[in-house]
Chain A
Amino acid sequence: MAGDPDALADAFRSYAGLVFGISRRVLNDSALAEDVTQEVFTFLWQQPERFNPTRGTLRSWLGVLAHRRAIDRVRAESRRAKGESRLDPAVSVASVASEVDDYLTATWLSGRVRDALGRLPAEQREAVMLAYYGNRSYRQVASELDISEATVKSRIRLALKKLDTLLRAEFSDEDEPAWT
């Protein structure tokens, strides 16, 4: 990525939809979501070394960045709306431990997904987990579960819809981490 405009363009074409979608889901505003999309790809261009491929895919990392930046916006808007200034301008460790930010957010978010998976109907959970564990194709999942490919698609579609509802709090800045 570093210094290669074509690589940036490829990344944008592959993941702009994801980044925009997550941002819009949090912000419920297309214009703001486009702002965040631009921020995320600017960040990728300026600090590509922040992505650590040993920790996960570029897709997940950009998704986490989009989530964090969108939440930033929500909170900033909320504070402005309430006429509040920032309450705790204490020393930020972000400058020395920025990787920790990404990691904590990813860990926290993935924990919520794990909890939400546990609340799905068994047949939907089974289909989703088989599809994402090892990145199986629908055909492979259908074969392993001995059901049709169409049924697999249907179960996964329903599961994702249910997960979207279950994860609404995580994508609207309503949840609170334990450490306060």
Chain B
Amino acid sequence: MDMNSDSLNADVLNTDELLSIAFDAVTATATRTGPSEGLEEQVLTRVLAGEKPRRHPGWNERDRFEPKWRRADSLDAFIKTAAELSTLFDSLSAGDWTRTTRIEGASVRQIVEHLVGVERYLLGCLDRRPRLDAPRREDHWPVSRRAATGLAGEPDETVSQSWWSEVLNLIAACAELGPDHALTYHHLAGTLQGLLVVRTFELWTHGNDIRDAIGRPADDLDEARLSLMVDELMRVLPLGLALSGCPQPGRTARLRLTGAGGGSFDVSLDPTTAVGRPDITLTADVIDLCRLAANRLAPDALDVIVEGDRRLLEPVLVGATAFAAD
């Protein structure tokens, strides 16, 4: 309670306090009458009798308010994936949290702590947390370690709640800044729209790391989310080859991705040259390619049919894994 007139800034008020001010302002000045006297009995009687609330004629659940930002596919995808991951965390037993995952021997709990750190790192990139929490723009591991230190000794439930809380903060920041807000993530200059696709991909990947560790089957994404991911992967593939040191100027690959969410994509194998006629055609399962891109499937384990110049196979596969970040 150190606030004085010199430090009066609305930033010190939390959401609850700000809402209290708004509701008091609205109800104190705009409404002179309250609900009718019989409303309490009417409501309680109906509620306790299990009756549905009265509806205005024509009103139905499809008219539920959905903010316009929900129309952005990538935000939908991120929210849905995060909510599914949160449900997974809620279902974990005490023993599950200590299981070892396939990620460098990390436990399930360490994976979730890592997620806390990454969301905080992103919030730092969006100026929603002190930059101190994001010491280097392209290195979120220090933030993950800091998150793990801060959560040491806390119950597992607190770790998952901390992650969900940061997810909500990130969603709120994205909703406010809009899909075209520019930022850099994983060395890629892009927009929030793209970032949310990448982040959806990473949450899905880590969710399956955890499912694998506790003996549950992997979760395959729906067609809409897979389609978003594949589009983003195809967009960055030329840069992936360049970052991996194996660009192929003037060469083009056609990727035929089978399964829901797949499709056929012609991609230049160098970020500085345009797409031409395909020099190589790869046919693979769309989920397998996503797992390869996430470093969860070795290139030599990919079931792929190759037509054309086979020398281009390795550069394409290496380029596809260029942005995998655990």
A interface vs B, CB < 8 Å?
5, 8-9, 12-13, 16-18, 20-22, 24-25, 30, 32-35, 37-39, 41-42, 45, 54-57, 59-60, 63-64, 68-69, 71-73, 75-77, 79-80, 86, 88-94, 96-97, 99-100, 103-114, 117-118, 122, 125-126, 128-130, 132-134, 144-145, 157, 159-161, 163-164, 167, 170-171, 176-180
Contacts and interface: CB of A to CB of B under 8 A. Distances in A.
A104 B26 contact: no
Contacts of A73: 56, 59
B206 to A, nearest CB: 18
Given A41-B43, A107-B172, A110-B22, 14 more contacts: A8-B48, A16-B39, A17-B34, A35-B56, A37-B39, A38-B47, A56-B16, A97-B79, A97-B83, A107-B176, A108-B175, A160-B24, A163-B21, A178-B69
Contacts of B71: 88, 90, 180
Contacts, number: 254
Chain B at the A interface: SS class: helix
26 contacts: A9-B44, A13-B40, A18-B27, A21-B31, A38-B46, A68-B65, A69-B65, A71-B65, A86-B62, A91-B224, A93-B80, A96-B87, A100-B83, A104-B172, A110-B15, A110-B19, A113-B18, A113-B21, A130-B8, A132-B21, A164-B28, A167-B25, A171-B26, A177-B69, A178-B69, A179-B69
Contacts of B1: 133-134
B26 A167 contact: yes
Contacts of A108: 67, 172, 175-176
A129 B23 CA distance: 14
A107 B12 CA distance: 14
Nearest to A111: B176
Contacts of A109: 18-19, 22
B3 A37 contact: no
Contacts of A170: 22
A92 to B, nearest CB: 6
Contacts of B59: 73, 76
Contacts of B31: 20-21, 24-25
Contacts of B29: 160-161, 164
Interface of B: 1, 3-5, 8, 10-13, 15-31, 33-36, 39-40, 42-44, 46-48, 52-56, 58-59, 62-72, 75-76, 79-80, 82-84, 87, 161, 168, 171-172, 174-179, 224
